[in-house]
């Protein structure tokens, strides 16, 4: 039996609460069952949202109904539930109240990610999604070629600071890059 299978609901919540108690920065829970083999259900995420230092859920589900279930269970004044699967998935979750997304595409085609945020604000995805689908394939081809050149830069909407494990966070950044960016929309 794996560690994930042995982890109780209470142990999972306690893990994140202890982290949040120990850190002086906001904690974002990356709810990614693909990597962890564990998906934190909404009732447990809602308990974590009660901690003032747990500020967001980077929700990594491709099922928009699961995203909506999570979003409905969380008080948005306590925690932001972001779309973790990027630009195209955000086109669906935005209609369900998703305030923002994490975008790998922003590293290579930031104008597409920004156009998608603007489309969500205008509630009009028709001009943007076909462009995202057609140009998205091109940007995926460039990701592998550009990855060594871009080093540890990871332009997510949540922090825009280096998070690649190949270098420690904030090492090798300029003074300007090292300052915390504005939080995503919906996070104060």
Residue position matching structure tokens 């980077």: 58
Q: Are 59 and 102 in contact (CB under 8 A)?
A: no
Q: The whole model's pTM is what?
A: 0.65
| pLDDT tens column, 6-45 | 678 999 999 999 999 999 999 999 998 888 888 999 999 9
Question: Given 16, 58, 67, 68, which residue is catalytic?
Answer: 58
Which of 82, 32, 13, 22 shows the shortest CA–CA distance to 53?
A: 22
Quickly state the pLDDT bin for 161 (edges 50, 70, 90): very low
Active-site residue, 30 included = yes
- Three-state DSSP class for residue 57: strand
Active-site residue, 37 included = no
Quickly state the pLDDT bin for 72 (edges 50, 70, 90): very high
Q: Sign of torsion, CA 130 102 7 2?
A: positive
Q: Which two tokens stand for residue 122?
A: 């205008």
Question: Given 30, 67, 68, 78, which residue is catalytic?
Answer: 30
Quickly state the pLDDT bin for 135 (edges 50, 70, 90): low
**Which domains are present in the chain?**
3-178 (3.20.20.70)
Task: Give the pLDDT of residue 51.
Answer: 97
């Amino acid at each position: 039996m794996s560690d994930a299978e042995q982890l109780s609901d209470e142990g999972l919540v306690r893990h994140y609460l202890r982290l949040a108690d120990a850190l002086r920065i906001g904690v974002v829970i990356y709810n990614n069952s693909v990597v962890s083999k564990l998906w934190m259900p909404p009732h447990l995420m809602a308990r974590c949202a009660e901690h003032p230092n747990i500020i967001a859920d980077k929700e990594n589900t491709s099922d928009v109904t699961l995203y909506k279930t999570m979003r409905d269970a969380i008080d948005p004044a306590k925690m932001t539930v972001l779309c973790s699967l990027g630009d195209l998935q955000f086109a669906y979750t935005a209609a369900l109240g998703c305030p923002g997304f994490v975008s790998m595409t922003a590293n290579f085609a930031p104008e597409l990610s920004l156009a998608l945020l603007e489309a969500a604000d205008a509630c009009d995805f028709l001009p943007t999604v076909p462009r995202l689908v057609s140009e998205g394939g091109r940007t995926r081809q460039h990701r592998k070629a550009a990855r060594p050149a871009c080093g540890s830069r990871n332009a997510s909407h949540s922090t825009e600071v280096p998070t690649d494990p190949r270098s420690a966070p904030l090492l090798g950044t300029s003074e300007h890059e090292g300052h915390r960016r504005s939080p995503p929309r919906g996070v104060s």
